[in-house]
Amino acid sequence: MRTITILLLLIPLINGCKKEDSSTSVTSVSPVFHIDLQASFQNDSVRVSVDQNKLFAGTITTSLILSLATSISPSVTVGAHDIKVEIFNQSVQADTTINVSDTITLAINYNRTSKIISFKTYPFALMYR
């Protein structure tokens, strides 16, 4: 009786372990990529381009509570991407190349005193609350 009970419990488990058809499995996942324009933007006219494609253009101001002016989540492929940031009313621009893999956040900050745009990458999405 005990053997029959064990077999009855194992049959659904065995049937549930089917081999996956490799022709229908997903082999690549689009990365999650965030660009966060963070500190020291004050009514600045900004343009952000990715691989020479304009991604964002607008006037932004950093929220002092969040230390965030705006966040952008473009669709990109895995690999290297050229990022260019222009602040027109300050006559400042900077560029960088980043390698996007699974999840990455590119934080962009502006130092108004030295007129320097800086870039920092994180392997995760930043949370603003």
Q: Which of 126, 129, 116, 109 is nearest to 73 (CA)?
A: 126
- Does the residue 59 lie in any domain? yes
- Does the residue 12 lie in any domain? no
- Does the residue 58 lie in any domain? yes
- Does the residue 21 lie in any domain? no
What domain range includes position 65? Answer: 36-129
Q: Which of 81, 42, 48, 82 is nearest to 62 (CA)?
A: 42
Number of domains within the chain: 1
- Report pLDDT for 24: 42
Give the residue with greater pLDDT, 95 vs 64.
95
- Does the residue 17 lie in any domain? no
Total Cβ atoms within 10 A of residue 78: 14
Q: For residue range 74-128, what is the model confidence (pLDDT) as tens digits?
A: 988 899 999 999 999 999 999 999 998 877 899 999 999 999 999 999 988 888 7
Give the residue with greater pLDDT, 24 vs 40.
40
Strand 32-37 relative to strand 70-72: parallel, antiparallel, unpaired? antiparallel
- Does the residue 20 lie in any domain? no
- Does the residue 7 lie in any domain? no
- Does the residue 56 lie in any domain? yes
Q: What is the pTM of this model?
A: 0.74
